[in-house]
Amino acid sequence: MYGRRMRTRLAVFLAGVLPLTVVAAPAQAAPPTVALGSVIPAPVDVRPSGGGFRITARTVIEAPAAARGVAEQLGEALRLRVVGHAPPRTGKIALELGKVNGKPESYRLTVDKRGVTLRSATTAGLFNGVQTLQQLVPVSGPRTIAGGEIIDYPRFGYRGTMLDIARHFHTPGEIKRHIDEISKFKVNYLHLHLSDDQGWRIQIDSRPRLTTVGGAAGTGVDGVGGGFLTKADYRDLVRYAASRHVTIVPEIDMPGHVNAAQVAYPELTCDGVAPPPRTDTAVGYSSLCIGSETTYRFVEDVVRELAEMTPGPFIHIGGDEAHATTQADYLTFQKRVLPLVTKYGKTAYGWNEIAAAPEANVAVAQFWSSATQNPAVAAAVANGTKVIMSPANLAYIDQKYDPTTRLGLSWAGYIEVRKAYDWDPGTHVTGVPESAVLGVEAPLWSETLRSLDDIEYMAWPRLAGIAELGWSPARDWESFRTRLGAYGPRWAARGVDFYRSPQIDWAS
Ligand code: IFG
């Protein structure tokens, strides 16, 4: 618009009237090093825009009192102050409670050079948005977040993993560290496998020998898995999990997998003789005494006490590998026990064998078969049963990655990262439409796992992939493997001993 001469005259004029102070340009945010969509699970709708927001020491987190818990967690993670109201023109990350799109757990994240706004109708949605936001902050270097908008919400409401603390007990501290990690990928259910042939891991007041005997030192696989959760431990875990928007699902496996209970209470056998304690890994040899009323008084005591310390909706009653129980007795057992769970206000949840029982139409079946057809499950689904997908050949993260994996089992086949990722829970089983699928769960059995390090090595990165199957609308292996490779340094920074799969190009 101005010719060069004019510009010169203008510059001379301005120089004469304006003090020659150099107006400091706004701190140019260093370019963002994490793309707005580089998040696991992949968000639904990502709209990058220019610019970005640079977090500095002066940045604050602004949140209403109702969102203080989530805000404090973010503040701790980013080492930023949390305030109720930030002064105007302060660079801030504002958490807001308000409508986004009416979908459960949804949130909207907006980033521009002035700051970040995270909005959701619920604290669960804010928690989800905070997990996403933390992945957008570079793990090192200038903390510039890419500009743009993300609108996000889950495909399935149930995104779970199971930790077997029966074969080898894991301490509350280890379980809390695992909760910290699973919640970063928006996993929102933790199924605890609390009893099995080798051990009983939850205190039941009316049956103290379950833990004084079944949870004693020397129980567990190879006799090195002893220990148990007191009720106080369990209640503290429930509270801790809830603060990370994870719901605990307790499992008492019945009528099979009961040797530890029968060692503690021989009256739970039909001949009243206590079986020898077992520290091997065989399955399918034990059964409660189906025709005895003593059995149902026991089951009711356990279900009642579990229900009163479990705020979550589910009580898992196992039901798998009841090879020492006749099918007729199995159905008799389910007919008596499934209503007991309902009586104490909970939804029954069991391995998919329970689907054979007509009473299972009010229960949730956990599909663990490696097949993609199961007439009993399809029939139960037609009758109202809902399903959680945990196909052993794809989602059992206790299986070895490949023949060289030191830990884990291999009866369901080797499961590398891509195999655990490249399947669709909504269409996996014939006769189980997406409308009957509550979600996914990745079981981690502990026959060969003794430490948190072992848990981490088998869980990560496969559980991150299964978390994406539970959350994101569609899967894309190339996109996932790229985002996963970029995520590696975050696990490394937290000391998580993840498996560096050769299928992934791991960033350093
Ligand atoms: N199957 C058994 C588990 C455990 C597992 C190890 C189920 C439902 C093999 N039952 O999986 O107790 O031993 O991979």
Note whether 16 and 121 are within 8 A (CB): no
- Output the CA angle 297-299-301, nearest 5 degrees: 70
Rounded average pLDDT over 33-46: 96
Has residue 20 got a pLDDT over 80?
A: no
Integer Cα distance of 68 and 133 in angstroms: 16
CA 412 to ligand 1: nearest atom: 14
Q: Out of 50-54, 309-313, 364-368, 403-407, which region has the weakest mean confidence (pLDDT)?
A: 50-54
Instruction: Let me know whether 114 and 141 are in one domain.
Output: yes
Residue 4, in any domain of the structure? no
3-state SS of 391-445?
Answer: CHHHHCCCECCCCCCCCCECCCCCCCHHHHHCCCCCCCCCCCCHHHEEEEEEEEC
- From the list 104, 88, 219, 94, the residue with the least C-alpha distance to 152 is 104
Gap from CA of 359 to ligand 1 centroid (Å): 24
Domain range for 393: 158-494
- Domain presence at residue 135: yes
Q: What is the mean pLDDT of residues 365-387?
A: 97
Indicate whether residue 398 lines ligand 1 (CB < 6 A): yes
Ligand 1 mean position, distance from CA 443 (Å): 9
Average pLDDT over residues 209-226: 97
Pocket test for ligand 1, best of 253, 283, 441 (most atoms within 8 A of CB): 283
Mean pLDDT over 31-51 rounds to 94
Mean pLDDT of 299-303: 98
- Largest Cα separation within the chain, whole Å, is 109
SS3 content of the chain, % helix, strand, coil (to 5): 35, 20, 45
CATH number at residue 181: 3.20.20.80
330 burial type by CB count under 10 A (0-12 exposed, 13-18 middle, 19+ buried): buried
- pLDDT over 70 at 121, yes or no: yes
Same domain, yes or no, for 169 and 90? no
Please indicate, yes or no, whether residues 240 and 348 belong to a single structural domain of this protein.
Answer: yes
Based on the domain organization, do 140 and 177 belong to the same domain?
no
Closest by CA to 167, choosing from 219, 228, 229, 212, is 219
Residue 212 lies in a domain: yes
Residue whose CA lies nearest to ligand 1 atom number 11: 368
How many separate domains does the chain show? 2
Contacts of 312 (CB under 8 A, 6+ apart): 189, 238, 247, 248, 249
**Distance of alpha carbon 469 from alpha carbon 423, whole angstroms:** 8
- Dump the DSSP string for 306-319: HHHT--SSEEEEE-
Of 109, 132, 152, the domain-final residue = 152
Tell whether 129 and 220 lie within a shared domain. Answer: no
Predicted pLDDT of residue 457: 98
Taking the centre of ligand 1 as the mean of its atom positions, its distance from the CA of residue 255, in whole angstroms, is 14
Shared-domain flag, residues 273 and 347: yes
Quick one: tokens of 394? 């794809």
Told to judge if 416 belongs to the known catalytic residues of this protein, a careful annotator would answer no
Shared domain for 276 and 129, answered yes or no, is no
**Mean pLDDT along residues 127-132:** 98
| Mutation choice for ligand 1 from 445, 448, 458, CB with most ligand atoms inside 8 A | 445
Q: Is 104 exposed, middle or buried (0-12, 13-18, 19+ CB in 10 A)?
A: exposed
pTM, entire model: 0.94
Residues 445 and 374 in one domain: yes
Q: Which of 114, 130, 152 is the last residue of a domain?
A: 152
* pLDDT tens profile 90-117: 899 999 999 999 999 999 999 999 999 9
Confidence band, pLDDT 50/70/90 cuts, at residue 6: low
Minimal-distance CA residue to ligand 1 atom 8: 320
Residue 298 predicted with pLDDT over 90:
yes
From CA 124, how far away is CA 132, in angstroms rounded?
13
Distances (CA, A) of 43 to 126, 185, 245, 378, 450: 14, 11, 18, 31, 34
In this structure, the answer to whether residues 271 and 380 fall within a common structural domain is yes
Average pLDDT of the residues in 430-459: 98
In this structure, the answer to whether residues 228 and 102 fall within a common structural domain is: no
- Whichever domain contains 107, its CATH number is 3.30.379.10
Whether a cis peptide bond, with omega within 30° of 0, leads into 41 is yes
Helix axes 68-78, 123-136, angle to 10 degrees: 10
Which two three-digit tokens encode residue 496?
């998580």
* pLDDT higher than 50, residue 481: yes
User: Which residue type sits at 148?
Assistant: G
- DSSP H helices, 58-122, are 68-78
Is 201 within 8 Å of 165 (Cβ atoms)? Answer: yes
φ, ψ of residue 376 in degrees (nearest 5)? -65, -40
